[in-house]
């Protein structure tokens, strides 16, 4: 037997140690090949005041699961990567630009991490 009335009070526990969950990483390796030549399309890099022209190649990424994805280059040449939302126009390289990276992948390669 117990009391006729019980009062419950909610509270938020506090601690001096942060509670963290380890990140879950799922590696889905994919590889896309490509090459550039003197007949490849060119564009001016966003923020490059010299208006020099650079060769480029585009790829479209479509994912079925939301999460953070990492894109890296693996090339014998110095690379720079740009990540766009929906479309890329070589005539307006800042439109739809989400992020870019030059040497984040080490050895003059780009590494872009983006939530999709």
Q: Which contiguous run of DSSP H or E holds residue 107? A: none
Dmax (CA) of the chain: 89
Q: Where are the domains of the chain?
A: 61-116
pTM of the model: 0.72
Question: What distance lies between CA 37 and its chain's CA centroid?
Answer: 26
Helix, strand, or coil (residue 23): coil
Per-residue pLDDT of the chain (116 residues; tens, 9 = 90+): 334 343 444 444 444 555 454 555 556 667 888 888 899 999 999 988 888 999 999 988 888 888 888 899 989 999 999 999 989 999 999 999 999 999 999 999 999 999 98
Which residue in 83, 71, 84, 77 sits closest to 55, CA to CA?
Answer: 77
Question: Nearest-CA neighbor of 76 among 39, 36, 113, 115?
Answer: 36
Q: Is residue 34 within 8 Å of residue 75, measured between CB atoms?
A: no
């Amino acid at each position: 037997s117990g009391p006729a009335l019980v009062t419950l009070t909610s509270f938020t526990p506090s601690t001096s140690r942060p509670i963290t969950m380890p990140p879950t990483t799922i590696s889905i390796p994919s590889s896309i090949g490509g090459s550039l030549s003197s007949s490849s399309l060119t564009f001016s890099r966003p923020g490059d005041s010299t208006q020099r022209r650079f060769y480029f190649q585009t790829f479209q990424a479509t994912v079925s699961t939301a999460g953070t994805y990492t894109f890296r280059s693996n090339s014998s040449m110095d690379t720079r990567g740009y990540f766009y939302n929906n479309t890329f126009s070589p005539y307006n390289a800042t439109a739809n630009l989400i992020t870019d990276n030059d040497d984040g992948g080490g050895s003059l390669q780009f590494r872009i991490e983006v939530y999709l």
